[in-house]
Structure 1
Amino acid sequence: MVEARLNRLLASDGRCLDVAVDHGIFGELAFLAGLERLAQAVQTLVEAGPDALQLAPGQAHWLQRIPDRHKPALVLRADTTNAYGPVSPPVVFAALAEGIVEQALRLDAACVVVNLLWLPGQTELYRDSLKNVQRLKIEAERYGMPLMVEPLVMQPGKEGYAVDGDVQKITSLVRQAVELGADVIKADFTQHTEDYYRVVEAASSRPVLVRGGGKVDEITLLERSYQVMRQGARGLVYGRNILQHQNPRGMVRALMQIVHQDATPEVARIALSVEA
């Protein structure tokens, strides 16, 4: 049953801080900063105590081999794409791993996560993503595995594709993800943070975890995290903003205060400085 694993992903307050460590599966060297020593990075994060770690199949053993019944839950990456490169390739694809839900069961995962990608002019990529979500939903439902869908609206940027924060586009794709069967939504920030409640509404009671995206400064990160939590988001999924911070352990604990204790950015920064 899905609820049993969701109860491992989400804390007793229904909220979650998930640290994304699965960047290497996308084949981009720039994503690996902070992850050069993978085993050490995972150990540091486990000690910091987030609710979950998002890992690729080939990484998951670094978490699950740790003999600690209170360690973070595993969110297993189910797909890969070449859409994140600095130069748009001639063919953009999204590929789902074969037998990924059975692998998730063997790895004792609490959830699987898959992209739903929308890029201008990339109809084939969008179709790939739709098929991936539909195939994974059938398999996940068969085994009672929660499905996290990552509806990402992107636009051409200076270096490849960048986040498109248009709230109307995001809410449309989020609603599509829900109606395709998502149990959890992982969605980008809107261009205007005060509009994020509309994403939460579009998710129709599904928990919304906010994707961190590219690295921003510490003050901006804490402030906008606080703002989206106040608008009904149920948590955060951050990678580079934790892994590439000078104090990853402290950043995890600062964000945990915002997620679970409704701490203000000012209070969270105090916690971060104490951890330094």
Structure 2
Amino acid sequence: MNGTAIRVNQLLNPQTGKAVIVAFDHGGSGVPPGGGDVSGILAAVAESRAEGLLVGPGVARQAGRYFARPGAPRLIVSMDAPIFSSMCGEHGKIRDHARIATAEHLMMLGATAAKVLLPVGYEGTEIFTKGVELVRSCAMECQALGLPLMVEPALWGVKASEKDNALIEHSARMSVELGADILKIPAPTDTAVLERIVRNAGVPVMTLGGAPRDAEGFAADMQAWMSTGVAGVVVGRNVWSRPNPAGAVDALVGAVHENNPEAVAAGWAAAGEPAA
């Protein structure tokens, strides 16, 4: 078993083979709503029952004081940042993405895995081709060091939609072909499509949480996702934008590891409302 396989398994709960990962890599273009207290969020997630925390390299530098202990969540660190505008804090359709770290640098930061975007839906092929080359170069670097690479097909271009099930399936396959060791994907609305992706990917597939939403709807989605055999969830604003992030993680743990999707609805209420 090589280093990549060992580190992938380190991200998964040994009892269930699944993971709850908190995504807090949203600061690459500015301060996200509810995400300004970096040290407070790091401290809360470090003491939670999450298997992992996804952050950018700058925040990863601050994480050592919270995560350098036995049993702490593992760090996954981004190798790139999305470009939405030339003005920090502006969002919308993606315009580009830029490399911000090397695999060697992430190993120095204590990463158990790396993450990179595969932006999809640009108007032209030139910028998409550059993005494909970025993903592949990241994958080659990571493979050389035994560092797993999580690839996220980002359906954020003007021609793409996260509700396009066929596009999710195509972009998941492309991500695997480019070297993904873990997939982080928007969940198709058709569970049959998600089942097919999980069955055919050959790597762990995790669904992303998306924007904050009502507890009942999210609980129902969680139940549907877990029934397909996904390896877990990567949830951001639905966790750290709430007053009690650790309580939100507990809710996800109940759904992912304890087969109790109702825990999400109850846990969301206990964790408080997300920031607007």
TM-score w.r.t. structure 2 length? 0.87
Partners in 1 of 2:247 and 2:218 — Cα distance? 14
Amino acid aligned to 1:37: D
The Cα offsets for residues 120-175 of structure 1, whole Å up to 9 and x where unpaired, read as 4142332122111110111111110001111122354xxxx974221111111101
Q: Distance in 2 between the 1:150 and 1:208 partners? A: 10
Give the secondary-structure state (helix, strand or coil) at the position aligned to 1:254: helix
Tell me if structure 2 keeps the 8 A contact 1:114–1:150.
yes
Moved more, 170-179 or 191-200: 191-200
CA distance in 2, matches of 1:212, 1:273: 17
Task: Name 2:96's counterpart in structure 1.
Answer: 93
Aligned partners of 1:139 and 1:69: how far apart in 2? 28
Partner of 2:52: 52
Distance apart, 1:46 and its partner CA: 1.4
| Residue 229, structure 1, aligned to residue 226, structure 2 | yes
Q: In structure 2, the residue corresponding to 1:19 is in which secondary structure? A: strand
Equivalent residues of 1:193, 1:224 under 8 A apart: no
1:64 is matched with: 64
Q: CA RMSD in A?
A: 2.2
**TM-score normalised per structure 1:** 0.87
The whole-number CA distance in structure 1 between the counterparts of 2:82 and 2:175 is 18
Structure 2 partner of 1:151: 153
Instruction: Point out where structure 2 has 5 or more consecutive residues left out of the alignment.
Output: none
The residue matched to 2:230 in structure 1 has which SS? coil
Residue 217 of structure 1 corresponds to: 214
Aligned match for 1:8, one of 3, 7, 10: 10
Post-superposition Cα deviations, 1:60-111, rounded to whole Å, max 9, x if no partner, equal 133222242111000001001214854558xx2211124x211111112110
Q: Shift of residue 6 of structure 1?
A: 1.3
TM-aligned CA deviation for residue 249 of structure 1? 1.7
- Cα distance, 1:54 vs structure 2: 0.4
- Paired residue type of 2:182: V
Instruction: State the number of aligned residues.
Output: 264
User: Following the alignment from structure 1 to structure 2, what is the Cα–Cα distance between the partners of residues 14 and 51?
Assistant: 11
Q: Deviations over 1:24-56 (max 9, x none)?
A: 11x144xx2222110011101112220000011
**What's the CA shift for 1:112?**
0.2
Name structure 1 gaps, 5 residues minimum.
none
Any conservation in 2 of the 1:94–1:125 contact (CA below 8 Å)?
A: no
Matching residue within 178, 181, 184 for 2:179: 181
**1:107 equivalent in structure 2:** 109
Partner of 2:129: 127
Tell me the CA shift for residue 202 of structure 1.
4.1
**Ranges of 4+ aligned residues in structure 1 off by more than 4 Å:** 271-276
Local SS of the residue matching 1:58 = helix
Answer yes or no: is the 8 Å Cα contact 2:23–2:235 preserved in 1.
yes
Structure 1 equivalent of residue 139 of structure 2: 137
SS for the counterpart of 2:53 is strand
Matches within 5 A, 1:163-202: 163-193=161-191, 195-202=193-200
Change (3 A) 1:88 1:257: closer
Cα contact 1:214–1:241 (8 A) shared by 2? yes
Q: Structure 1 residues 116, 88: CA separation in 2 closer, same or farther (over 3 Å shift)?
A: closer
Identity of aligned residues (%): 28
SS in 2 for 1:53: strand
C-alpha separation between the residues in 2 aligned to 1:268 and 1:81?
A: 30
| Most deviating of 59-68 and 107-116 | 59-68
